[in-house]
Structure 1
Amino acid sequence: ESTGRPLVILDLALTRDVDETVRALPGVVHLDLPGVRDAVPDAEVRQVDAARAIIDAEADDFERTLAGRSMDSLITALRSHIGRVVMEEIERLRPLQSRLPASAVPSVDGRADARVVAGGGVIRANGSSGAIAVSVAAPETTSEAAAKVSSEAADEPVITLAQAERALHHLAARLLHQPTVMARRAGQEGREDAYRQALELVLGPDSVGGTHD
């Protein structure tokens, strides 16, 4: 029964599901994908192009990120190498400090700057600049080292071994930041081998050990 309104047939299949002759029937409006495409105003087309440009840019960025991740094994090896060096230095301080009597190592007064004396090795921190200087003198006996600490404790603050350990870890993290950034960039630019060779030249093959394909 006719209602006086046109019959709208929407055909959105990639291959037409409605015969072309239907278009010619009276009271029928046939809409398909080509018709919808042709009806889209130019402004909408520009928006589609802009959306495609955004997608392309994000896809390129994702590919660069994946390329940078190709350096993960090298970065892990580098961090492990620096971490081992830091721990070796910390372990070297432990037995030296433990030989001093408790009275020879004053408690920390709340400030982060200080020194650790261990058999002639002294780590001093400058309270104003925060700089840490290391001096190594001729080997001393425990009593001589204790006497030196006692005589200097009045004018120089003292750091605990834990504070020295934190300082070393912080220093290592700062030193590793730029090499890590540059490693990612080298991976993104396809320069993995060149970066690895440069790192081995500066730090030795152990710094990137086990990362060769």
Structure 2
Amino acid sequence: MSLLCVSVDHHRADLELLEHIERRADDLTARLTDPAFATGAVVVATCNRFEAYLDSPVLDRDAVLRSLAEAAELPAERFADASAVHAGSEVPEHLFAVAGGLESAVVGEGEIAGQVRRALDRARTAGTVTTELERLFQRATGVSKAIKHRTGIQSKGRSLVRLALRMAESRIGDWRGTRIVLVGTGAYAGASLAALRARGAERIGVYSPSGRAQQFAASHGVRAIPHEALELELERADLVIACSHAQDPLLDRERFARTVAPSRAPFCHALAGGAVSNADRPRPRLLIDLGVPRNIDPASATVPGVELLDLETVAKHAPIAELSAEAEAREIVADAAAEFAADRAELDAVPALVTLRGHVHGILEDEIARSGDPDVAAALRHFAGRLMHQPTVRVRQLGRAGRAPEARAAVEALFGPGE
């Protein structure tokens, strides 16, 4: 099957043309869902977009555009000029970007995700969804959720937190094992906690100078840090994020100086007979200050082992493209599209696996029938399973690499009809 998407949206068409197409959306949809036109079709139609996703063994781009122009009662040239056509591997990447709000007039708007889901529901009801289109649109829903939860593209506050954490990623080796102290219980704290969990962080404690830590912790499933335990937590922390509304700095230089801890011993410490010392190597701590006014005294950056990122530092980096929410979202889209293509290519290797398994299992059943011994049968099945494991893995790998024809040719040469 071949995938094709014809898209008419605000990028290429003016409002007048979009309104004209919207009024004829039913006629366009009827044309697309004709079995003689395509095996399967899903139509995403909104106030500023009309997109047709088609699945068919053979799709002629020019013929599709001419037919849609006719249904829309538009000159073929005008419809073609207003259309963007995506084919093959371009289709998943485009749909994933659309579902994530990256192609919307307002980048990041969340309404389009629901519109994409409803388009699939309508196509299911009409019976025009093929297996390939079902997989495509199901994956688009997952990508949309990943963009929403991992980038926070729909929230300015979340974007600020996300930028800070993106800058922190080069200093954090393993989010799951990172010990984190979160200072504050307001909106920024909630956004920070969500962004941290999206990255896999688990060891999170929350401290509140106003005494609301217990309530926040109970409602968010994290540990509350009492006042008397704060310095011990700061000593053990790898990352401190401060986002309180306090008017004066909550954490001063002296507090961080008192809580300096030695770096962990290297792996070779015992083998070196204790010759390697960490006494002069303080354990690194990263501080992120999102407070306005500041929550952390800037002088804290002079404490050995401490690195401080404050709002000023984050703001300086905000214009960098690779740190923007949209750039991060597009990375998610590109990765998901590549994975979808690999999964699809792997399916092309299925006929080779069927041939291989058919050959092996045919011999297996003959031998089991001849033995008549249940113990021998169990042993033979176990042996066949072990024998088939590596060839099965290898054939799938060849499929994902786009080399399914090679796998099919090799299997047929060895075990095919001409054996």
> RCO higher in 1 or 2 (8 Å CA, sep ≥ 6)?
1
Name the TM-score, length of structure 2 as normaliser.
0.23
Question: Which structure has the bigger radius of gyration?
Answer: 1
